[in-house]
Amino acid sequence: MARSSLASGTGKRARSAERPSSGQGRPAAARPDGTRPGHTPPPDWRPRVDPGPLLPDREPYRLLGTPAVADLDPQLLRELYGQLVRGRRYNRQATALTQQGRLAVYPSTTGQEACEVAAALALRPQDWLFPSYRDTLAVVARGVDPAEALTLLRGDWHSGYDPRATKVAPLSTPLATQLPHAVGLAHAARLRGDDTVALALVGDGGTSEGDFHEALNFAAVWKAPVVFLVQNNGFAISVPLDKQTAAPSLAHKAVGYGMPGRLVDGNDAPAVHQVLCEAVEHARAGGGPTLVEALTYRVDAHTNADDATRYRDDAEVEPWRAHDPVALLERELRERGLIDDAGIRAVEAAAEEMAARLREEMNAEPVLDPMELFDHVYAEKTSQLREQAAQLRAELDAEEE
Amino acid sequence: MARSSLASGTGKRARSAERPSSGQGRPAAARPDGTRPGHTPPPDWRPRVDPGPLLPDREPYRLLGTPAVADLDPQLLRELYGQLVRGRRYNRQATALTQQGRLAVYPSTTGQEACEVAAALALRPQDWLFPSYRDTLAVVARGVDPAEALTLLRGDWHSGYDPRATKVAPLSTPLATQLPHAVGLAHAARLRGDDTVALALVGDGGTSEGDFHEALNFAAVWKAPVVFLVQNNGFAISVPLDKQTAAPSLAHKAVGYGMPGRLVDGNDAPAVHQVLCEAVEHARAGGGPTLVEALTYRVDAHTNADDATRYRDDAEVEPWRAHDPVALLERELRERGLIDDAGIRAVEAAAEEMAARLREEMNAEPVLDPMELFDHVYAEKTSQLREQAAQLRAELDAEEE
Amino acid sequence: MGTATAPAPAPATRKPATMAQALRQAMRDALAEDRDVHVMGEDVGTLGGVFRVTDGLAAEFGPERVTDTPLAEAGILGTAVGMAMYGLRPVVEMQFDAFAYPAMEQLISHVSRMRNRTRGALPMPITIRVPYGGGIGGVEHHSDSSEAYYLHTPGLHVVTPATVADAYGLLRAAIASDDPVVFLEPKRLYWGKADWSADAPETVPPLGRAVVRRAGTSATLITYGPSVPVCLEAAEAARQEGWDLEVVDLRSLMPFDDETVCASVRRTGRAIVVHESAGFCGTGAEIAARVSERCFHHLEAPVLRVAGFDIPYPPPMLERHHLPGVDRVLDAVARLQWEGN
Amino acid sequence: MGTATAPAPAPATRKPATMAQALRQAMRDALAEDRDVHVMGEDVGTLGGVFRVTDGLAAEFGPERVTDTPLAEAGILGTAVGMAMYGLRPVVEMQFDAFAYPAMEQLISHVSRMRNRTRGALPMPITIRVPYGGGIGGVEHHSDSSEAYYLHTPGLHVVTPATVADAYGLLRAAIASDDPVVFLEPKRLYWGKADWSADAPETVPPLGRAVVRRAGTSATLITYGPSVPVCLEAAEAARQEGWDLEVVDLRSLMPFDDETVCASVRRTGRAIVVHESAGFCGTGAEIAARVSERCFHHLEAPVLRVAGFDIPYPPPMLERHHLPGVDRVLDAVARLQWEGN
Ligand SMILES: Cc1ncc(C[n+]2csc(CCOP(=O)(O)OP(=O)(O)O)c2C)c(N)n1
Ligand SMILES: Cc1ncc(C[n+]2csc(CCOP(=O)(O)OP(=O)(O)O)c2C)c(N)n1
Ligand SMILES: [Mg+2]
Ligand SMILES: [Mg+2]
């Protein structure tokens, strides 16, 4: 049990590159590299893939404000902008609905609209989106009805839209648990010969969960056509990133799975969109999964029920307001003359219309049938559930009398 | 939902390094780097640590057969050798005991003795070892009684030694679940101001489990004094490494946690020992955790109950037999004149003696008290357990009549 | 049970306190008295927990004693196991009932078995606080009652308070216990107030003692946690129908207080178990089975169960149809085969 | 139950087959008939599983249909969920009972709830095969009986065969089910042989039907899986004492066949539930509770339970003291308050 004298005890680490190579007299003749015959390396070893290309971008990838933005399709930029404005308005409206008691709770993505919108727009019709609980906006941007997307948070049922019809998985409340689902679905599609890609969203906090790890590993081993987008918005409720990870960046986790990692400015909508499109098409082409980390910020509190002043200063939020995804794209569009005041007013009017329709729909009292509680537990009710349904039926009838 | 025209669709990835930088005429004056004022990077971003130093060795680190071995303490080399021979003998003896029905099962570490022994010898008395189910040999090399270490596998109780007295955690059957324990213990020691380090062992298969991920992440965030040694022996039962991971190496996983990764020839006992000692002392000095991947090979079947011919050829095993940890070190010692035939015979005789004692102890029928089943479930028996114990007592009494 | 009772009460004036405050006080006192006590979990530090139960503790005891962990429940419980191996007494918070599931492997395979595995060498003095149950309008995964999983896992204690005073006393006892205790906190009772004094908390019996909350003669309602107030209300309402119901608050589900429960049922001759979680293989199954066996010749009617339906916890707008309420309890009382029925 | 019965039997000669062989045949037939069926798990491919239950399937159907996964149970079940979302029918193997615990989160939060969550849009036709139970001399974590956890989780079916023919039929029905089925395979019956024909497997009733394995009049033994042979043996032994015991093999624990069970108990007036897993909050609790309620006026004695003790599963050299054996069953029968007792 004694500690040997071999340990340097200094904590310094001898890297292979730094290996002492000045050999003194050796019993057997040394090879040019200093090793002696009969002393072989482990037989099976070779680097399995070159880690170099897997390493993420040195700095967050950006397009807005760079020369490269000139190459982008103006139509796309306008579409992104329209969705951003609509998304911002959606977040505001949904938060207002919580104050009016029309929604139980709403986790806002104000400040994160670029990620939400770009994720939805990066997909083709046959692709699937796997949102986390915060990503109602991505679900809506993908085309799900704005009110149906809020069913979970209003509380009349769990998932309000049809995942098969919309190709949007249910909003996943248990963090990171939706990631293996995305991998499994993408894998299944590939086995069937379909060219479907799955895009899964997760937060910075969610990367700490075991399911994150298992999902990324399965995806890489199976070369599943799946893209993981981590929205690093700086917080998991109150817990800042530096209590969550010590990694150089979350995108660096990709290397350990053997997939490429990308780092992108999450408030630069065209940049997020481009990086995601590249990853999605790479997956579609059989290249396997990608991990994308988008750097963004949760400008609102965790939810309307949260008090963010308990864990952060407004001073921390300010610079992010200055780096606002909507404003950034608007400036670019204006500078390039791709939009004018009238164009902006039109976009805002469309967003207002969406908000008005949403308000109206959410103000209608949902019609609920308590008996539905028993309808979907199994394909067919068990005799146990038939008995329990009869009990509730009787209670409801008695109430009505 | 439509796919935008922005995506290149080629699957090619624009790296930040490859970003188009040739700017045409731009609406606003560009900065030297091509970006324009008002277009800022995400405010909070900086690379959290430099990933460079975290990247593992380019090739498995080796000492045997290299000039560097001349700097090692001959006494240590002999100690390692003695333990390797003893370990090899222990593996053989334990496997024989399964054939004689004295052990329920034995997962052998033949071929992996260098890792097992080096792990035990890298620790100081105040340190803790967290073995996986396969690591009986490391437990014994740490000083636990060779027969007590086999209690689990003989089946008279679960853990046969006192973990507090020996500073060896119970052999952990559920894979990777012991890793968070090691982190917690190391963290607790640090909080108490003790200079204890925990060394946790896990297999290549075990790295796929969520607990592996969560443990490494906690360790890095907490800067816990813990070292993770992955024995990559090529297989998880029948599943080869390439169905387990697509990573460049398992050591590359370190980068994603922000801890250094090391890659070492797992059959080179002095190299494993040195790398582990450095990592252990680095942790002790407050430097935080290290992930070490040792490349080795499971020469025997998974356990005595396994039939390895179902999933691998003998041709695959052969080169590893040639890269045998005992033979490698023996050659080095002989070449350096650090051991002669007599010395080897002495080492072998000591190993034989250990084996003979083990045989004897394992041949004795253990004395078991069925009533002990109720003794350690809680600090004090619940009334429920008192009733159940009384029932068993009555049954046993009736049997005796 | 290796538990401590709370410190002896000193005379003090009581004032209204919530269960959340009493729980916080219990942790505060435990942290102050024993430097081995550590509080850890998601958001328990700076934020003070999503229910504010740990509010102020990090400020008072520092981030090493009250720690915001990474977001990984298995990691939280798994590292707590290691801390306990070293002699600490971790108090772990699972943010919500359903978010404790990722930690099931650590709970079942290690927390509950480590003492037994090592013949007592490695006890696991870990308290696992789990806000549980429904009735708060929570969205999916925020209203589960998972006590039956824990109860079916030998080696765990399972405790749940229904009053402000018990919240303090039972949590002190749980933290003081040398065995792992799953401490279930009824979310919808967090903000209920009662007159209570932090300076003179009542002493409580060791874990494993039920209490008769209301004496009665017609039948016994056996219940715990969030269903205790429901049963007390039902008992009041039942007086109008001529039933005088006894209400037993189990407080500790494991160890289970057979003595108090069976004494009550033998006295009344009738029993109903009331709880929120799904009935099938739930706590009520165990209680009905053991009461039926132990009190067989005293029973005038079968032991009935009023439990949640065997369905996933419903969306908030439908939860009232799922939760056992006063009416459902009274319906069950009416089915207890009274003379002339 | 949305289940299919096995294909109609064609005349064929029966020969001895093991339960492992019948299970393999069931998967083979399902794989051959339905290209959406996929078998996945640790070592199920090349090796054919540690119990060889999937032996030869990878060779026959290829590694995309019969897949060796990475070593991560939550990942296995979680990816199976995604595969089921796309319309496949994954048959997942958990290598041993206790190694299914890391997948509990996926099981409880998703597998069991996805259909309900999505109003039927995303059914989960997943079969989760779990070798379970003790009596094989397994070291720690290799002998658990975890059915009660599954039974307490609404949305899951739980099935366990006790005979070679049922192994085939129930597994076919499980794979054909549009709902998730936890399929518990009694390890110690894997190698038991019975005359059976792969060409003419018996048809089996849909999931949810118990069967009377032995008719009797004195009392009913209610049991399943590995305890069925124990009960049959006990029933034989009991004849010498003058008791004629009926043995009900539940086969399907959820749905639970109240009809068959209660009909039997009403006939015999006495009942004992026998199973290996810990008694507290175990399957026996549910059965005793519901039988006591439903057959109250027919019961001559309380429903008794013969179950594993409430302790972690013992080391192999002590397991026989834990497992409910013939003697313990007979002791319980003797306690059934016979005339003159
Ligand atoms: C498994 C699980 N544990 C805990 C929670 C409770 N919870 C809800 S949101 C949240 C923080 C999530 O942070 P992050 O992943 O960064 O996503 P963000 O909220 O920032 O979008 C927590 C802890 C949960 N939903 N699921
Ligand atoms: C959580 C868990 N799942 C499955 C098993 C069953 N099992 C025992 S050993 C083994 C393979 C382990 O492979 P690896 O981690 O490489 O370690 P090695 O056996 O090579 O030492 C498996 C799957 C287990 N013990 N624990
Ligand atoms: Mg976040
Ligand atoms: Mg291995």
With a CB cutoff of 8 Å and minimum separation 6, the contacts of B272 are B114, B115, B118, B119, B264, B265, B266, B294
Band of the pLDDT at C288, cuts 50, 70, 90? very high
DSSP secondary structure letter of residue C5: P
Report the relative pairing of strands B235-236 and B239-240 from DSSP bridges: antiparallel
| Phi and psi torsions of B2, nearest 5° | -70, 145
Specify if A14 maps to a domain. no
Mean predicted confidence (pLDDT) in D50-69:
98
- Report which secondary-structure segment, H or E, holds B192: helix B178-192
User: How far apart are the two ends of chain C, measured CA to CA in Å?
Assistant: 44
* Pair (A211, A257) in one structural domain: yes
> Ligand 3 centre from D148 Cα, in Å?
36
Strands ordered across the beta sheet of C271-278? C211-214, C245-249, C219-223, C271-278, C304-308
B244 CA to chain A: closest CA distance, Å? 7
Specify if A160 maps to a domain. yes
* Pair (B329, B383) in one structural domain: no
CA atoms A261, A266, A268, A274: torsion sign: positive
Specify if B24 maps to a domain. no
Burial of A6 (0-12, 13-18, 19+ CB in 10 A): buried
Q: Chain D 124-163, CB below 8 Å of chain C: which residues?
A: 140-141, 148-149, 151-152, 154-155
Mean predicted confidence (pLDDT) in D157-169:
96
Residue of D186, D171, D182 lying closest to D254 (CA atoms) = D182
- Residue bearing the CA closest to ligand 2, atom 20: B236
Could you please report the per-residue DSSP string of C78-136?
A: HHHHHHHHTT-EEEEE-SSGGGGGGGHHHIIIIITTHHHHTTTSS----EEEEEE-S-S
The residue assigned the tokens 């008691």 is A101
Domain span at residue A380?
370-400
DSSP secondary structure letter of residue A132: B
* Pair (B259, B390) in one structural domain: no
- Provide the residue type at B173 as one letter: T
- Rounded CA-CA distance B139/B126 in Å is 15
The tens digit of pLDDT for each residue in C79-121 reads 999 999 999 999 999 999 999 999 999 999 999 999 999 999 9
Q: Which of A163, A180, A380 sits opposite D121 (nearest CB)?
A: A163
Residue of D172, C75, B66, C161 lying closest to A14 (CA atoms) = B66
Specify if A18 maps to a domain. no
Q: Residue D247 in contact with residue D232, Cβ under 8 Å?
A: yes
Q: Where are the alpha helices (DSSP H) in A243-382?
A: 269-284, 314-322, 325-335, 341-363
- A364 versus D202: the higher-pLDDT residue is A364
- Provide the residue type at C138 as one letter: G
Which neighbouring-strand residues pair with D158? D182, D254
Which neighbouring-strand residues pair with A129? A168, A199
Domain edges within chain D: 16-196, 211-334
C316 touches chain A (CB under 8 A): yes
Catalytic site includes residue B298: yes
Q: Residue C194 in contact with residue C164, Cβ under 8 Å?
A: yes
* Pair (B249, B387) in one structural domain: no
pLDDT number for residue C196: 86
Report the predicted TM-score, pTM, of the whole model to 2 decimal places.
0.95
In chain C, the DSSP E strands lie at 15-18, 37-41, 66-68, 89-93, 127-132, 157-159, 181-186, 193-196, 211-214, 219-223, 245-249, 252-254, 271-278, 304-308
Residues A18-29, buried b or exposed e (16+ Cβ, 10 A)? ebeeeeeebeee
Residue of B324, D122, D259, C126 lying closest to A184 (CA atoms) = D122
Judged against a pLDDT cut of 80, whether residue A11 lies above it is answered with: no
Q: What is the largest distance, in Å, between two alpha-carbon atoms of chain B?
A: 103
pLDDT number for residue B34: 65
Q: C-alpha angle with apex A197: A191 to A203, nearest 5 degrees?
A: 125
Interface test with C, best of A237, A306, A316 (most C CBs within 10 A): A237
Judged against a pLDDT cut of 50, whether residue A18 lies above it is answered with: no
Mean predicted confidence (pLDDT) in A140-163:
97
Specify if B44 maps to a domain. no
Q: Chain D 88-127, CB below 8 Å of chain C: which residues?
A: 98, 101-102, 104-105, 108-109, 112-113, 116-117
The residue assigned the tokens 């594993």 is D308
- Rounded CA-CA distance D268/C287 in Å is 24
Report the CATH number that the domain containing residue B270 is assigned in CATH. 3.40.50.970
pLDDT number for residue A2: 34
Number of folded domains that form chain A: 2
Q: What is the mean pLDDT of chain A?
A: 91
Residue of A242, A279, A249 lying closest to A263 (CA atoms) = A249
Torsion of CA D139, D141, D142, D145, to 10 degrees: 130
* Pair (A328, A379) in one structural domain: no
The tens digit of pLDDT for each residue in B4-47 reads 333 333 333 333 333 333 333 334 455 666 667 667 778 867 76
Specify if A12 maps to a domain. no
Number of Cβ atoms within 10 Å of the Cβ of B352: 14
Is the peptide bond between C255 and the residue preceding it cis, with omega within 30 degrees of 0? yes
Mean predicted confidence (pLDDT) in B131-140:
98
Residue of B384, B385, B387, B389 lying closest to B370 (CA atoms) = B389
Which neighbouring-strand residues pair with D195? D16
C335 touches chain A (CB under 8 A): no
pLDDT number for residue A33: 62
pLDDT number for residue B101: 92
Residue of D262, D275, D281, D253 lying closest to D151 (CA atoms) = D253
- Rounded CA-CA distance C17/C14 in Å is 9
Judged against a pLDDT cut of 50, whether residue C4 lies above it is answered with: no
Band of the pLDDT at A44, cuts 50, 70, 90? low
> Ligand 3 centre from D59 Cα, in Å?
45
- Rounded CA-CA distance A226/D171 in Å is 32
Q: Which of D112, D289, D309 sits opposite C289 (nearest CB)?
A: D289
Judged against a pLDDT cut of 80, whether residue D201 lies above it is answered with: no
Mean predicted confidence (pLDDT) in B222-249:
97
Mean predicted confidence (pLDDT) in B43-55:
79
> Ligand 1 centre from B48 Cα, in Å?
22
The residue assigned the tokens 């057959």 is D295
Specify if B9 maps to a domain. no
> Ligand 1 centre from C193 Cα, in Å?
30
The tens digit of pLDDT for each residue in B263-281 reads 999 999 999 999 999 999 9
The tens digit of pLDDT for each residue in A294-308 reads 999 999 999 999 999
Burial of D300 (0-12, 13-18, 19+ CB in 10 A): middle
pLDDT number for residue A152: 97
* Pair (B218, B292) in one structural domain: yes
Q: Chain A 144-203, CB below 8 Å of chain B: which residues?
A: none
A368 CA to chain C: closest CA distance, Å? 8
ipTM of predicted complex: 0.95
pLDDT number for residue D121: 98
- Rounded CA-CA distance A310/A303 in Å is 13
Strands ordered across the beta sheet of B128-130? B128-130, B198-203, B226-232, B290-295, B261-265
* Pair (A265, A392) in one structural domain: no
Burial of A214 (0-12, 13-18, 19+ CB in 10 A): buried
Q: Looking at chain A, which subunits does it touch, using at least 3 CB pairs closer than 8 Å as the criterion?
A: B, C, D
With a CB cutoff of 8 Å and minimum separation 6, the contacts of A231 are A112, A115, A134, A201, A202, A203, A204, A266, A294, A296
* Pair (A351, A390) in one structural domain: no
pLDDT number for residue C269: 98
In B83-188, the DSSP E strands lie at 128-130
Burial of C156 (0-12, 13-18, 19+ CB in 10 A): buried
Number of Cβ atoms within 10 Å of the Cβ of A352: 14
* Pair (A140, A278) in one structural domain: yes
Q: C-alpha angle with apex C235: C229 to C241, nearest 5 degrees?
A: 150
- Rounded CA-CA distance B360/A194 in Å is 63
Judged against a pLDDT cut of 50, whether residue A94 lies above it is answered with: yes
Mean predicted confidence (pLDDT) in A242-258:
97
Q: Residue A262 in contact with residue A311, Cβ under 8 Å?
A: no
Tokens linked to A326: 């909507």
Catalytic site includes residue B302: yes
pLDDT number for residue C6: 43
Q: Residue B243 in contact with residue A221, Cβ under 8 Å?
A: yes
Q: Under CATH, what is the fold of the domain C211-334?
A: Rossmann fold (3.40.50)
Report the share of chain B in percent with pLDDT over 90: 86
* Pair (A319, A392) in one structural domain: no
Mean predicted confidence (pLDDT) in B95-104:
95
pLDDT number for residue A189: 98
pLDDT number for residue D2: 36
pLDDT number for residue C12: 60
**Considering only A62-76, A127-141, B3-17, B44-58, which range has the smallest mean pLDDT?**
B3-17
Judged against a pLDDT cut of 90, whether residue A7 lies above it is answered with: no
Report the share of chain C in percent with pLDDT over 70: 94
Taking 3-state DSSP, the helix, strand and coil percentages for chain A, each rounded to the nearest 5, stand at 50, 10, 45
Q: What is the mean pLDDT of chain B?
A: 91
* Pair (B385, B316) in one structural domain: no
Specify if B1 maps to a domain. no
B229: Cβ below 6 Å to ligand 2?
no
pLDDT number for residue A31: 63
In A114-238, the DSSP E strands lie at 128-130, 198-203, 226-232, 235-236
The tens digit of pLDDT for each residue in C219-234 reads 999 999 999 999 999 9
Q: What is the mean pLDDT of chain C?
A: 94
Q: Which of D105, D110, D122 sits opposite A164 (nearest CB)?
A: D122
The residue assigned the tokens 């907490």 is B222
In D19-126, the DSSP E strands lie at 37-41, 66-68, 89-93
* Pair (A214, A315) in one structural domain: yes
- Rounded CA-CA distance D38/D126 in Å is 10
Domain D16-196: state its class.
Answer: alpha beta
Mean predicted confidence (pLDDT) in D55-79:
98
